[in-house]
């Protein structure tokens, strides 16, 4: 199953890009979905055998509550089968990856191998992104949105690369990577984020690094690593700002040619977050603030819909034709720019709260493993603290839940950390040393 897991990683990172670049049959875009079906079968057999002993009961409670919310939304809105299937595809296809580490034999060497493959895929993004920026410049275009690497979206590319840097930072803090290697990879992996115009880099990177340093650095050394992080951020800023400004120097569609002006201008920030859209069905450009406020106001007219939403798939797009398109897709198409909008409209306030609880539980498990697990999973969890924080913020920044590249990886590694957290708790109850809880045999036999 180890090789199959690597195949899943390759599929979610490269399939869409290869289909578009090589003009392959569009049906290959469903390869990640097909692989999920295999994972479901494996998880069911392995889980029934081991009674899912490494899946914490709290997750079953939240998943069960989420199913109730989904059913209530479907019944209340009498959702059609087509939109349901389309919505379920986006939300449910990566979930089996969460249970896979709980039923699969995995040791430190296996995890290191997986991370090396992902690092290689991250490094591959750099030449691809540089070439894409070259094409943009040679054609006289002015947007970095087309610098997407193999992930088909500039924001998703930035998210993946920053998360990769955070995992490397955790390894650096635990002395599992040489300082020179770390700093070379740090700046090299961030090259695409400086040329694809994702302003959120200047927010995500500092927050992710500070979270990783705060929870991962040893006592007595936090100030040292904090100063090193500040120095790295200064250098990164000195590189990011002029490169960003250079790509925008002739852009006729942006008033702010200097990114520092953008972040220091209250008017520019206000225009970036909201605009006078007027309500649903607007033809104007919708900002992220509008994508939160307007859908909430729409649902607030009906208390039941506010609680349970319009039903799963109600505002989701579809690659299978109009019969699979959500009933409210066209009405909210302009607003569907962040995942929060989808969660609110399709699952209501209760669904959003449950998603928040799920993210919080994942964060707590990550902290426990990072502080108590002496194995390589504990090293990984140090950097994963920053990743969980970034993903929690990303809910209100980008529409990430429709991209298998990041959702499959997030669910898989969240499941890995959660399984280790349960193993640690079981060993504490049995009075065994914590180091025994993290060995591969413990995960397969607990």
In this prediction, the residues of the chain whose per-residue pLDDT falls under 50 are: 434-446
pLDDT in tens, 225-267: 667 667 767 776 666 666 666 666 656 556 555 566 555 555 6
| Helical segments of 51-107, H only | 57-77, 81-92, 96-103
Helical (H) or strand (E) element with 369:
helix 339-372
The answer to whether 155 and 200 have CB atoms below 8 angstroms apart is yes
Residue 301 phi/psi, 5-degree rounding, is -70, -20
Domain region containing 361: 2-267+337-445
Domain count, the chain: 1
Task: Report the pLDDT value the prediction gives residue 444, as an integer from 0 to 100.
Answer: 42
Phi-psi region of 312 (alpha: psi -120 to 50; beta: other; left: phi over 0): beta
Instruction: With respect to residue 287, please indicate whether it lies within any of the assigned structural domains.
Output: no
Does the residue 143 lie in any domain?
Answer: yes
pLDDT of residue 401: 86
Which letter does DSSP use for residue 218 in this model? P
CB 394 within 8 A of CB 400: yes
pLDDT tens digits along 320-367: 767 778 788 888 888 888 899 999 999 999 999 999 999 999 999 999
Q: Are 236 and 190 in contact (CB under 8 A)?
A: yes
325 in any annotated domain = no
Q: Rounded to whole angstroms, how far apart are CA atoms 410 and 113?
A: 17
Asked whether residue 311 is domain-assigned, the answer is: no
Inter-axis angle of helices 339-372 and 57-77, nearest 10:
170
What is the pLDDT, as a whole number, of residue 236? 66
Please tell me whether residue 145 adopts helix, strand or coil conformation.
coil
Burial label, 122 (beta-carbon count in 10 A; 0-12, 13-18, 19+):
buried
**pTM higher than the cut 0.85:** yes
Pseudo-torsion of CA 362, 364, 365, 368, nearest 10°?
160
Query: Which pLDDT belongs to residue 45?
Result: 87
pLDDT number for residue 197? 73
The pLDDT value recorded for residue 280 is 75
Report the 10 Å Cβ neighbour count for 68. 12
In a domain, 349, yes or no: yes
d(CA 3, CA 106): 12
Helices (H), 300-338: 303-308
* Chain mean position to CA 9: 14
- Whose CA is closest to 402, among 151, 201, 148? 151
415, 102 contact by CB (below 8 A): yes
Residue found by looking up tokens 């097909």 in the block: 34
Neighbours of 110 (CB within 10 A): 17
Whole-number pLDDT of residue 393: 87
Please answer whether residues 191 and 129 qualify as being in contact, where contact means their C-beta atoms are separated by less than 8 angstroms: yes
Please provide the distance, in angstroms rounded to a whole number, between the alpha carbons at the two ends of the chain: 19
How much is the pLDDT for 65? 95
Tell how far CA 274 is from the center of its chain: 24
Q: Is residue 142 part of a domain?
A: yes
Residue 75 lies in a domain: yes
Query: pLDDT value at position 327?
Result: 84
Residue 272 resides in a domain: no
Q: Which residue has the tokens 């928040």?
A: 356
């Amino acid at each position: 199953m180890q090789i199959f897991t690597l195949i899943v990683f390759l599929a979610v990172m490269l399939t869409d890009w290869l289909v578009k670049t090589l003009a392959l049959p569009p049906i290959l875009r469903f390869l990640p979905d097909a692989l999920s079906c295999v994972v479901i079968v494996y998880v069911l057999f392995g889980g029934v055998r081991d009674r899912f002993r490494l899946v914490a009961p709290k997750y079953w409670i939240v998943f069960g509550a989420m199913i109730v919310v989904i059913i209530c939304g479907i019944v209340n809105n009498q959702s059609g089968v087509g939109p349901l299937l389309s919505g379920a595809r986006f939300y449910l296809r990566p979930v089996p990856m969460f249970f896979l580490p709980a039923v699969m034999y995995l040791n430190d060497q296996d995890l290191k191998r997986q991370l090396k493959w992902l690092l290689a895929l991250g490094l591959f993004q750099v030449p691809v992104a540089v070439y894409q920026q070259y094409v943009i410049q040679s054609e006289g275009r002015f947007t970095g949105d087309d610098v997407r690497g193999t992930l088909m979206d500039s924001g998703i590319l930035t998210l993946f690369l920053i998360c990769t840097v955070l995992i490397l930072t955790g390894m650096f803090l635990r002395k599992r990577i040489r300082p020179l290697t770390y700093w070379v990879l740090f700046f090299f992996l961030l090259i695409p984020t400086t040329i694809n115009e994702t302003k959120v880099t200047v927010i995500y990177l500092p927050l992710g690094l500070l979270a990783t340093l705060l929870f991962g650095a040893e006592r007595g050394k936090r100030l040292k690593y904090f100063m090193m992080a500040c120095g790295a951020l200064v250098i990164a800023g000195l590189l990011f700002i002029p490169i960003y400004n250079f790509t925008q120097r002739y852009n006729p569609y942006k008033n702010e040619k200097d990114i520092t002006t953008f972040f220091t201008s209250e008017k520019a920030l206000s225009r970036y977050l909201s605009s006078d859209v007027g309500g649903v069905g607007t033809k104007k450009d919708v900002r992220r603030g509008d994508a939160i406020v307007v859908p909430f106001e729409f649902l607030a007219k009906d208390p039941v819909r506010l609680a349970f939403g319009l039903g799963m798939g109600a505002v989701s797009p579809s690659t299978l034709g109009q019969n699979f398109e959500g009933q409210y897709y066209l009405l909210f198409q302009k607003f569907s720019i962040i995942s929060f909008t989808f969660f609110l409209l399709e699952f209501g306030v209760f669904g959003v709260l449950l998603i928040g609880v799920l993210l919080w539980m994942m964060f707590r498990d990550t902290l426990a493993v990072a502080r108590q697990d002496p194995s390589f999973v504990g090293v990984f969890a140090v950097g994963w603290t920053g990743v969980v924080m970034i993903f929690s913020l990303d809910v209100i920044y980008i529409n990430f839940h429709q991209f298998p590249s990041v959702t499959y990886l997030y669910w898989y590694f969240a499941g890995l950390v959660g399984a280790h957290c349960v193993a640690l708790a079981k060993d504490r109850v049995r009075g065994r040393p914590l180091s025994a809880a993290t060995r591969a045999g413990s995960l397969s036999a607990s």
